[in-house]
Amino acid sequence: MSATPDAAELAYARGVIEAEARAVADLTERLDDDFFRAAEALLGCQGRVVASGMGKAGIMGMKLSATLASTGTPSIFLHPAEAIHGDLGRIVPEDVVIVLSNSGESQEIVALLPHMRRLGVTLIAVTGNRDSTMARDSDLIIDIGRLVEACPHDLAPTVSTAAMHAIGDALALLVMRRRGFSREQYAMNHPGGALGRRLMRARDVMRTGERLALGDPAVTLRDAICRITEAKCGALLVHETGGKQMVGILTDGDVRRQLYSPRGQEALAAGVGEVMTRDFKSVHPDQFALEALSVMHEHRIGDLPVLDEEGQIVGLLDLKDLIDLEL
């Protein structure tokens, strides 16, 4: 079913977005000493950062907690209603608690405040009312300002939650920056996501141990096939006799070429040193897996040795494994 756009209704929707955008932009002038001290408190927190709030403000608290946790600051969300029914036990004096409420008078939040004081935690209020009960009982106040909601009745949290969202991101990312939290550390917290996969190193996905087929140049082609089959990989990594430095690779293609050569079955008794590929490609364990995948794609190879600085074998990248990881 299609409908003709109504100019007035589109204008109203644009007005909602503009109201939220103005509120977020105005926050840049509200960042003060308390905001900076709040970041310092999060950096120095010896426990966890606990975010709490009711309703839509609570959802913004969940978002803040999730962003903190994924960027190097251990954090949980505490539902205020559940807190007064036993979940206060989740909080210890070493924690920093951030409470979010536009009015600062949410009944469930106000009920928590005496218990927070008793526990001795550092309490940070994110509110639009500096004169509220919540603000008065907090150690630090992040003031988002007196805001008019975009709702026609000035009731549904819209502008205020947009401001809370932005202030939470600013706080979390400042702490992340101050902490020196790296892309690699971020990826470690996102192993199942696309970003985590993009930041995987060769060492994270390479085959090692029994999943490798290894041998020196004297190993016969017949034995090499057995080792490759047992390891369920696509190549034998050939190392120097009595050492680990790699001197060649025997791939499935090398084996087929020998078996279908004039030598035929006689080739099975030959040492792999006679038939291996000596001019092979390799990567370092610290290189990104995506870089390794590019090398494999460029040179049309399915197996890529992983070597240390001295050229010694530490693992093998198998194209099938990288495909399974959706790299």
Pairing assessment for the beta strands 235-239 and 214-215 based on DSSP bridges? parallel
Quote the crossing angle between the two packed helices 159-179 and 7-26, to the nearest 10°.
40
What CA–CA distance (Å, rounded) separates 212 from 238? 11
Encode pLDDT of 238-272 as tens digits: 999 988 899 999 988 888 888 887 777 777 888 89
Q: What is the pTM of this model?
A: 0.69
What amino acid is encoded at 180 in this protein?
G
Q: Which residue has the tokens 């082609």?
A: 221
Name the segment(s) of the chain with CATH classification 3.40.50.10490. 7-181
What CA–CA distance (Å, rounded) separates 65 from 57? 12
What CA–CA distance (Å, rounded) separates 172 from 72? 9
Tokens for 86, please give them.
């036993």
Name the segment(s) of the chain with CATH classification 3.10.580.10. 202-324
CB atoms within 10 A of CB 235: 27
Max distance between CA atoms of the chain, in angstroms, equals: 92
Per-residue model confidence (pLDDT) at position 260: 81
What CA–CA distance (Å, rounded) separates 288 from 317? 12
Superfamily of domain 7-181: Glucose-6-phosphate isomerase like protein; domain 1 (3.40.50.10490)
What CA–CA distance (Å, rounded) separates 178 from 2? 51
Write down the H helix ranges in 153-220.
Answer: 159-179, 183-188, 194-198, 202-205
CATH of region 202-324: 3.10.580.10
CB 98 within 8 A of CB 41: no
Per-residue pLDDT of the chain (327 residues; tens, 9 = 90+): 556 778 889 999 999 999 999 999 999 999 999 999 999 999 999 999 999 999 999 999 999 999 999 999 999 999 999 998 889 999 999 999 999 999 999 999 999 999 999 999 999 999 999 999 999 999 999 999 999 999 888 889 999 999 999 999 999 999 999 999 887 777 666 666 666 667 788 998 999 999 999 999 999 989 999 999 999 988 999 999 988 899 999 988 888 888 887 777 777 888 899 889 999 999 999 998 888 999 999 999 999 999 999 999 999 999 988 888 776
